Amino acid sequence: MSFYADRLSRIKLSPSTAATMRARELRAQGKDIIALTIGQPDFNTPEHVKQGVMAALARNETKYPPIDGIPELREAAARKFQRENALKYAPEQIMVGTGSKQIIFNAMLATIGPGDEAIIPAPYWISYLDMVLVADGTPVEVPCTPESGFKLTPAQLDAAITPRTKWLFINSPNNPTGAVYSRAEIRGLADVLLKHPHVWILTDDIYEHLRFDGMEFATIAQVEPKLYDRTLTVNGVSKAYAMTGFRLGYAAGPKELIKNIVKLQSQSTAGVSSISQWAAVEALNGSQEFIPHRAAEFQARRDRVLELFKEIPGLQPNHPEGAFYLFVRCGDLFGKKTPQGKVIENESDVVMHFMDNGVAIVLGAAYGMSPYFRMSIATDMQNLEEACRRMQRAVLALK
């Protein structure tokens, strides 16, 4: 009998984490690697947030915090939902977790049992599928094609729902494709969900503020108030506020669901770092003026990288509408040979070929779709331009 639990055999180390670790190892060996693997903004945490941290330390806000979050942060999150999403939540409907990732993980553990299904549109964020598997559930992957903008259609959703369906995952703007669901597209999904009252919705809005070309943001409980009582709306401060290291997310939903997620959290991590919570209070309550400027910078990077990709034969990037990734089709490289004589047989070979040429990316299969890879544009323009030059040389070297 194995010492390790069976659940570990169902999941894998996050491929984006693994790729980032590999890039660090190669750098430690003295190799020049540009890592485009991790979803981490290269901007600094805003100054008013840093000042909030210093003030919290000066007040000695260093004791155990409440399991569900300090009242000041839950109230700030409630104001945020009202101000930006026209959603009214009482503070007891809001909880704070160690990143939005932990909240989603705990939500699955609190609600999913053997045989329960969760619909996950593909491409998807790496962790959704494994979270459902750890909770003994069955992930139902629904491939979303480039023709639909990598978005789930109402017909696909209706066909995927069964009596065992418990959750639908929505992520807009999407990781890895940057697809943004319009209000009309969410309306179409909501109309299907109204016919199936047993299906709950988990909407991951972590990239809410990072949108391009004037795209509007809408979240499903806002579009269809009748779904309010079965929607968990998840957000956080990592992406828009460049606070990844603070490890703080928050969520709002029905009081009983929040209560049970908090119950689970009480026996695992307990309350989130008190200093991180006070930093998030400053982030949500303070000036938001810098956010559109940072989104515009990500858009400029997207536009520049798309322009450079026109000079790289065999690679077809999508046109992201938000977030900070490109999802690039690479199937046209299959069958070619590297200068060392190795045949490129699959996207893993493509990823390794680029790694050998100084660029670290993540294979698309990790996100539920092949033959693609994901590259982050959350780094400065100089690094992005050099990465594209290296990729161009690597592709042109194939025979």
pLDDT at 94 over 70: yes
pLDDT at 44 over 90: yes
Cα(19)–Cα(138) distance, integer angstroms: 26
pLDDT at 4 over 80: yes
pLDDT at 163 over 90: yes
- What pLDDT is stored for residue 17 in this prediction? 67
Which neighbouring-strand residues pair with 168?
Answer: 119, 201
Q: Which of 34, 63, 59, 106 lies closest to 257 in space, CA to CA?
A: 106
- What pLDDT is stored for residue 99 in this prediction? 96
- What pLDDT is stored for residue 11 in this prediction? 81
- Res. 16 pLDDT band, cuts 50 70 90: low
Cα(187)–Cα(219) distance, integer angstroms: 10
pLDDT at 28 over 90: no
For range 253-257, the mean pLDDT:
98
pLDDT digits (tens, 9 = 90+) for 168-192: 999 999 999 999 999 999 999 999 9
The alpha-helical segments, DSSP class H, found in the chain are 7-10, 15-28, 47-58, 71-85, 99-111, 126-134, 154-160, 183-194, 220-223, 255-266, 274-285, 290-309, 347-356, 381-396
For range 26-50, the mean pLDDT:
91
Tell me the percentage of the chain whose pLDDT exceeds 70.
99
pLDDT digits (tens, 9 = 90+) for 346-385: 999 999 999 999 999 999 999 999 999 999 999 999 999 9
For range 2-24, the mean pLDDT:
78
Task: Out of 3-12, 40-49, 240-249, pick the least confident.
Answer: 3-12
- What pLDDT is stored for residue 13 in this prediction? 73
- What pLDDT is stored for residue 276 in this prediction? 98
Q: Which of 267, 125, 271, 136 lies closest to 202 in space, CA to CA?
A: 125
pLDDT digits (tens, 9 = 90+) for 259-303: 999 999 999 999 999 999 999 999 999 999 999 999 999 999 999
Q: What is the mean pLDDT of the chain?
A: 95
Cα(199)–Cα(194) distance, integer angstroms: 9
The residues, any chain, with a CB within 8 Å of residue 105's CB and separated by 6 or more, are 127, 131, 134
Tell me the percentage of the chain whose pLDDT exceeds 90.
91
For range 229-258, the mean pLDDT:
98
pLDDT digits (tens, 9 = 90+) for 95-145: 999 999 999 999 999 999 999 999 999 999 999 999 999 999 999 999 999
Question: What fold, for 64-285?
Answer: Aspartate Aminotransferase; domain 2 (3.40.640)
Architecture of domain 7-44+290-396: Alpha-Beta Complex (3.90)
pLDDT at 85 over 80: yes
Q: What are the residue boundaries of the structural domains of the chain, listed by start? A: 7-44+290-396, 64-285
